[in-house]
Amino acid sequence: MTGTLYVVGTPIGNLDDMPRRAVGILRSVDVCYAEDTRRSGTLLARLKANVPLRSLHMHNERARVEELLAALAGGGSAALVSDAGTPTVSDPGCRAVAAAREAGHEVLAVPGPSAVLAALSVSGFPADRFHFLGFAPRRGGERSAWIDGLRSCMDTAVAFEAPGRLVALLDELAEAGLGERAAVVCRELTKLHEETTAGSVRELAAAFATREVRGEVTIVFGEGEAGNEAPDLAVLMEEARHWSRDGLRRREIADRLAAEFGLSRNEAYRVSLQVQEAPSE
């Protein structure tokens, strides 16, 4: 017999947004797997869903897969929930869902509130096409690649960020040539202190720099403009080589790259360093 895994969306803030179908599922399954059992336990208690609750998060998901498959064996049922919103969307659960499907079990979606869609709906930006970027990596090449991806994206884009890192991200985006891109910062969606602030990336960086940012943050970026695409590395290297032959030093080359191509200081310095280290032709 095959079991059923329900991927259940839960409220992103306002508990009154809990879908009726999701309530019924959570009350009827044999076990519920949750990203944080404390938070989900509070929700289940409010819903009067008296079912066993097990943790499934980024640190133990691999180990939990066999346990989940055993729970589904013989026709059992299980629910998968995250702290808020839809599991697997910048949250754990992908490995568990894939394993259940591969084992022949039925996997059903129980849709609920979504911070991505809620933010898009109030942004005023076109949402017939959009890119979801998740959380920005904190440092290094992955962060630079993430910023390059946003710069080359011509469609509306949505990202998550921790409140304490919002200003640093906006500042870095402005430094990378995205300061004039329209954006909306949505904070505490559906909660008591919900706030939506619109402006350019540069304006938003200045606005939030003077205040303490709290709560969950979703950023919606408006459509990009032609010319804001990330420049081709070969073009950058050729220009940098030309300036190097003219006698410019590494820092001067980096400054020119940043000014003419909208690169961040780190990106510009990396290109100038590659040129200095490359063998002469």
Nearest to 185 by CA among 209, 201, 173: 201
Could you read off the pLDDT of 188-229 as tens digits, one per residue? 999 999 999 999 999 999 999 999 999 999 999 999 875 555
> What would the pLDDT profile of 142-199 be if each residue is shown by its tens digit?
998 999 899 889 999 999 999 999 999 999 999 888 999 999 999 999 999 999 999 9
User: What local confidence, expressed as pLDDT, does residue 177 receive?
Assistant: 86
Give the pLDDT score at 228: 54
CA angle in degrees (0–180, nearest 5) for 220-226-230: 80
Which residue bears the tokens 């073009």?
A: 235
**How far out from the chain centre does Cα 164 lie?**
15
For the residues of 232-276, what is the DSSP string, one character each? PHHHHHHHHHHHHHTT--HHHHHHHHHHHH---HHHHHHHHHHHH
Q: How confident is the model at residue 281 (pLDDT cuts 50, 70, 90)?
A: very low
Percent of the chain at pLDDT exceeding 70: 95
Residue 279 has pLDDT above 70, yes or no: no
pLDDT band of residue 276 (cuts 50, 70, 90) is low
Q: Using 50, 70 and 90 to split pLDDT, how confident is the model at 249?
A: confident
Share the mean pLDDT of the chain: 91
Per the listing, tokens 């980096």 go with 254
Question: Is a pLDDT exceeding 50 seen at residue 48?
Answer: yes
User: In the prediction, which pLDDT does 235 show?
Assistant: 80
What is the per-residue pLDDT across 55-87, written as a single tens digit (0 to 9) for each?
999 999 999 999 999 999 989 999 999 999 999
Instruction: Kindly report, residue by residue over 10-26, the tens digit of the pLDDT.
Output: 999 999 999 999 999 99
Range 222-249 average pLDDT: 78
User: Which pLDDT value is given to residue 73?
Assistant: 93
Residue reference for tokens 């609920």: 112
Nearest Cα residue to 118 out of 34, 39, 43, 188:
188
The token pair at 128 is: 């017939």
* pLDDT, tens digit (0-9, with 9 covering 90-100), for 96-140: 999 999 999 999 999 999 999 999 999 999 999 999 999 999 988
| pLDDT in the model for residue 229 | 55
